[in-house]
Chains A and B, each alone.
Chain A
């Protein structure tokens, strides 16, 4: 088993969003993303949209994208399961080029989880829907987020980024 020592900072993720011209963040907060939320909230150029269920995020993002916005979706993997029909219809069906950053709750790197843990279902669901994904576990993986934006734009499909580490405290303050 590989020991994970590096961590993922919220500022790194935020930097990737800014680099890729994100205008709107459609999100349902979770424990994995709270530090990132605080960073984004301080940016007046980013519009944060709070949805009540994750399925809302794909239809909202579809409308934003059709209108020329560049949304990103920020949800937890539990919310991915909730969103499947919306992802299918509004994400894939409307050819919405959106990156979906998914907190990978339950990700242990060694695959040992209780049978009903949401981590067991996350990647099989993405495979079933034909959604390509990148795993990001630490700051060194962050360029994969830009790859996801490029792929979403090229393929006109949702592309997922699985965040396999809880965001830690701020590194630069």
Chain B
């Protein structure tokens, strides 16, 4: 397992102009990113939808690279999304999965079969042509550039250290300096999307 923040710092070196949906890594990514207008920290609109959202964006913006940092609890809620994504096979979509084996924001309870699901294998069997698994940060660091050089959809399963939260939600520090409306408005301006 490795720290999500360390992984994101390494990824940032190779980001280029990609649109990044940082998912539950947003609290770190907001401090790491140098291109906020291309970041989409959504919070948690409804659990289970990040992969489909990122996929839809990738289809609508085929000339932009779209990078998602998904989490295993989210993905498990809509595992069928992998089939939808693989069928459409957007070449500009890069699907990273942070697997901390638990629901960290609710106190760290395990996800189903927490330690044993091989998500990269699942993604491959659902139709992703290129899948990877990393549980060592050094291996990730040595391979991320070549992974990003390949056409999507690519799936990267990473074992990350849980960052468990137990404070009541209204007592947790606010990590997103922008509202959801601002995030979406900034992105649309960046992409010159009128509506």
- Determine the interface band of chain A, counting residues with CB < 8 A from chain B: 20 to 34
Which B residues are in CB contact (< 8 Å) with A55? 46, 48-49, 78
The answer to the question of B165 belonging to the interface, with a C-beta cut-off of 8 Å to chain A, is no
User: Which residues does chain A contribute within 8 Å of B188, judged by CB atoms?
Assistant: 66, 68
Task: Determine if B78 and A67 form an interchain contact, defined as CB atoms under 8 angstroms apart.
Answer: no
Task: Tell me what chain B mostly uses at the interface: helix, strand, loop, or mixed.
Answer: helix
- The answer, yes or no, to whether A60 is at the interface (CB within 8 Å) is yes
Closest-CB distance, B76 to chain A (whole angstroms): 13
A131 at interface, CB cutoff 8 A:
no
* Minimal Cβ-Cβ distance residue in A for B45: A89
B187 touches A53 (CB 8 A): no
Please give the distance in Å from B41's CB to the nearest CB on chain A.
Answer: 13
Contacts A59-B52, A88-B46 given; does A64 touch B60 at CB 8 Å = yes
A 83-109 binary contact with B (CB < 8 Å = 1; else 0): 001101110011101000000000000
- Is B117 close to A, CB under 8 A? no
* Interface 9-mer from B24-32, B80-88, B142-150: B80-88
Contacts of B80 in A (CB 8 A): 51-53, 56
Residue in contact with A69 in the complex, picked from B50, B60, B184, CB distance below 8 Å = B60
Judge if B111 is at the interface, Cβ distance under 8 Å: no
With A66-B188, A68-B191 known to touch, is A49 a contact of B88 (CB < 8 Å)? yes
Other A-B pairs beyond A56-B80, A68-B194, A86-B46, 5, CB < 8 Å: A24-B56, A52-B78, A64-B56, A66-B40, A67-B193
Interfacial residues, chain A to chain B (CB-CB below 8 A): 23-24, 26, 47, 49-53, 55-56, 58-69, 71, 85-86, 88-90, 93-95, 97, 153
